[in-house]
Structure 1
Amino acid sequence: MTARAARRSPAILAGALLAFAAIFVALGVWQVERLTWKHALIATVEARTSAAPVAAPGPGTWAGINAMDDAYRHVRVRGQFDYDRETLVRAVSDLGSGYWVLTPLDTGAFTVLVNRGFIAQSARDAQRPEVRGPVTITGLLRITEPGGGFLHANDPQAGNWYSRDVAAIAHSSGLSRAAPYFIDADAARNAPGEPVGGLTVVRFADNHAVYALTWFAMALLCLGGAWHIAGETRRPLRAMA
């Protein structure tokens, strides 16, 4: 290796470390921005869940329903349950493994799937109480969960559901005028033998501060490495002076 190449190698390495430091700083800043956004989202959702219930969105507003503006909104709806078109969706809750009980509620103007709550696996084929006539349901608006879950795809033909895919469930059940969302019913109707409502988990991963500190630490390490290489490169020059 020539003397020029020997001098060039540390400079290239130092430059690469500086480039990596810039990348790590950018990633850290991005995580700080994500942290601000996540805290705003958490505050918004907490405000929605604790607010007084409002009327469930009707057909005129369905095109604008989205997770950012509508998820976990506290809503109220009145109608009659269609128990003959009930759908059981695999679930794991604080009560163990079992099913969510999704029952269509006919409001007269449209139909909305109501997650009446959780039942254990052993209660799958048990007779559940049925309330005939109009009922008022309050709960949280939830965004559809297309595809499947638990590493399984939904299988409508076999009646195996692993996620609350509103469009697929509505189509499989022959529902018309179905809302593009579903409602998690609250705990008001938790009576013996009924599905246990009010189990919605409102929790968001919030690790952005840790990620940001990690990226900034990596940037400092790269800067320290570049500074060390620069110092080692200058030392022979000082010795020759």
Structure 2
Amino acid sequence: MRFLVPFLFGLTGFAVLVALGVWQLQRLDWKEGVIAQIEARITAAPVDLPPTPDQSADNFLPVRLDARVTGAPLRVLGAWRGGSGYRIVAPVETGGRRVLVDFGLVPLSASETTLAPGPYAIIGNLSWPDDVTSATPDPEGSTWFGRDVSAMADTLGTDPLMVVARTVTPSAGPQPLPVGVEGIPNSHLGYAIQWFGLALVWLGMTVFLLWRIRRRTL
């Protein structure tokens, strides 16, 4: 009995921790499948801009636009995967509609940014970025600190739609930063390693405890 209770307690804890690690591996498989689906959607053949895009159904939808810039752009200051700088978001007219286009990145040294009116052939993805939090500062003139589609659309007088450019022909100047899967969190492998590591530690502590009990009984 002196051995049985610690043994069962240790075995139960070890089994629970291993089960949690296996569950995280299952979640990893699921998340990788989701990311693969999103990546396939992002890189699919572009289509014309839908008449009434829906955020839940059309996020990341590849689209093509023949557009002209119809106003001064906004500059979004931040650190992006392409480096620190300003993302240039401008109002464009396409097919009788006015929408937002994220043309890409210019360096911090760019004191002002202007875009030629075009026309441009743009291939990109519909996107509803989640850059803005409660800690995001308010805009300062044309400089913003996060892409807020609704607020930007109100400021520039466009439909609340944003296309993040993948290619712009001819080049408008900014370096396009296409939508990608790099920002989608996927920490399940790390969590699984942690649970399996804790399981090994638990097993080692159980073996050590049983050894100590055995020493006392000798």
TM-score range, shorter chain: 0.7 to 0.9
User: Do the aligned partners of 2:49 and 2:63 also contact (CA within 8 Å) in 1?
Assistant: yes
Query: What's 1:3 paired with?
Result: none
Number of aligned pairs? Answer: 217
1:195 aligns with 2:186: no
- Gaps of at least 5 residues in structure 2 are none
In 2, the alpha carbon distance for the partners of 1:213 and 1:96 equals 31
What whole-Å deviation, never above 9, does each CA across 1:98-126 have from its counterpart, x for those lacking one?
A: 21111122335643211012112222315
Query: What's 1:177 paired with?
Result: 159
Q: What is the TM-score with the length of structure 2 in the denominator?
A: 0.77
Pick aligned residue for 1:168 from 151, 154, 157: 151
- Gaps of at least 5 residues in structure 1 are 1-6
Bigger fraction of residues in helix:
1
SS at 2:200 equivalent: helix
What whole-Å deviation, never above 9, does each CA across 1:180-223 have from its counterpart, x for those lacking one?
A: xx2111233363x6222245453145443343133113113313
SS at 1:91 equivalent: strand
Query: What's 2:41 paired with?
Result: 48
SS at 1:75 equivalent: strand
In 2, the alpha carbon distance for the partners of 1:222 and 1:153 equals 43
In 1, the alpha carbon distance for the partners of 2:9 and 2:96 equals 64
User: Do the aligned partners of 1:90 and 1:98 also contact (CA within 8 Å) in 2?
Assistant: yes
Q: What is the TM-score with the length of structure 1 in the denominator?
A: 0.71
In 2, the alpha carbon distance for the partners of 1:171 and 1:20 equals 56
Superposed CA RMSD in Å reads 3.4
SS at 2:181 equivalent: coil
SS at 2:168 equivalent: helix
User: Do the aligned partners of 1:58 and 1:110 also contact (CA within 8 Å) in 2?
Assistant: no
User: Do the aligned partners of 2:124 and 2:163 also contact (CA within 8 Å) in 1?
Assistant: yes
